[in-house]
């Protein structure tokens, strides 16, 4: 991955960042980071907001534009939307529900197989789930919170077009996560891309 693409990747996975933060992460000078960001701005891939800090001058935070997010594509979006439209037309909502259920079963089997190879501790199970989701293109990672809960963070949605056209795909994923992680935890959606967030985040709380 070249430096330019790495800058875009960090903005995608970490959200808005200052040029100095990106410089520190990439081992660049602040000027070098700004040049990369300005190049991204010229291409329409990045923009900035000046955010007022508590003390001193506003801080410039860079973020991806819609075109920048599109550099991380939705897999086969046009074909997927066409198929959803055709299933609806031919078989109605009931047929679409069957399609979602079939996908749900396949995903659950895949995730259960991966989690069966991981240690039983909840953090290890969540990390195994994130690893599978990463291979599916979700840019997934797990973070441990101070209260003992876990955040499964997905910085990209490779089925965004399908989920937008039929939100049953999103409901299905949440239910699958709960089933494969088991009764020793609860899973809830904390952030949702389709509700205007920049990513999807699931909070996993151990049951005491």
User: pLDDT, tens digit, for every residue of 29-44?
Assistant: 999 999 999 999 999 9
SS3 (DSSP) at 56: coil
Report the pLDDT value the prediction gives residue 166, as an integer from 0 to 100: 60
CA-to-CA dists, residue 100 to 82, 103, 104, angstroms: 15, 5, 6
| Order of all β-strands in the sheet with 200-206 | 140-144, 150-154, 200-206, 185-191
Ranges of CATH 3.30.1380 domains, the chain: 77-206
Report the pLDDT value the prediction gives residue 187, as an integer from 0 to 100: 96
Ranges of CATH 1.10.10.10 domains, the chain: 3-69
User: pLDDT, tens digit, for every residue of 138-191?
Assistant: 899 999 999 999 999 999 887 776 566 567 777 778 889 999 999 999 999 999
**What residues form DSSP beta bridges with 201?**
153, 191
Mean pLDDT of the chain: 86
pLDDT band at 78 (very low <50, low <70, confident <90, very high): low
The CATH architecture annotation of domain 3-69 reads Orthogonal Bundle (1.10)
Phi, psi of 5, rounded to the nearest 5 degrees: -65, -35
Concatenate the DSSP letters of all residues of 15-53 into one string: -SB-HHHHHHHHT--HHHHHHHHHHHHHTTSEEEEEEPP
CATH of 77-206, one of 3.30.1380, 3.10.20, 3.30.70, 3.40.1350: 3.30.1380
């Amino acid at each position: 991955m070249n430096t330019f693409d790495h800058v875009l990747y960090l903005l995608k996975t970490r959200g808005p960042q200052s040029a100095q933060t990106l410089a520190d992460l990439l081992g660049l000078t602040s000027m070098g980071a700004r040049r990369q960001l300005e190049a991204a701005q010229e291409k329409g891939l990045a923009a900035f907001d000046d955010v007022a800090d508590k003390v001193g001058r506003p801080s410039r935070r860079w973020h991806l534009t819609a075109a920048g997010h599109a550099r991380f594509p939705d897999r086969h979006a046009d074909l997927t939307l066409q198929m959803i439209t055709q299933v609806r037309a031919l078989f109605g909502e009931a047929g679409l529900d069957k399609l979602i259920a079939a996908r749900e079963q396949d995903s659950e089997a895949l995730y259960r197989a991966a989690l069966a190879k991981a240690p039983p501790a909840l953090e290890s199970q969540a990390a195994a789930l994130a690893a599978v989701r990463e291979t599916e293109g979700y840019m997934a990672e797990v973070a441990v919170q101070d209260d003992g809960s876990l955040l499964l963070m997905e910085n990209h949605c490779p089925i965004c077009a399908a989920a937008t056209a039929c939100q049953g795909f999103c409901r299905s994923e949440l239910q699958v996560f709960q089933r494969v992680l088991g009764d020793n935890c609860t899973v809830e959606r904390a952030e949702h891309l389709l509700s205007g967030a920049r990513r999807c985040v699931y909070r996993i709380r151990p049951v005491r």
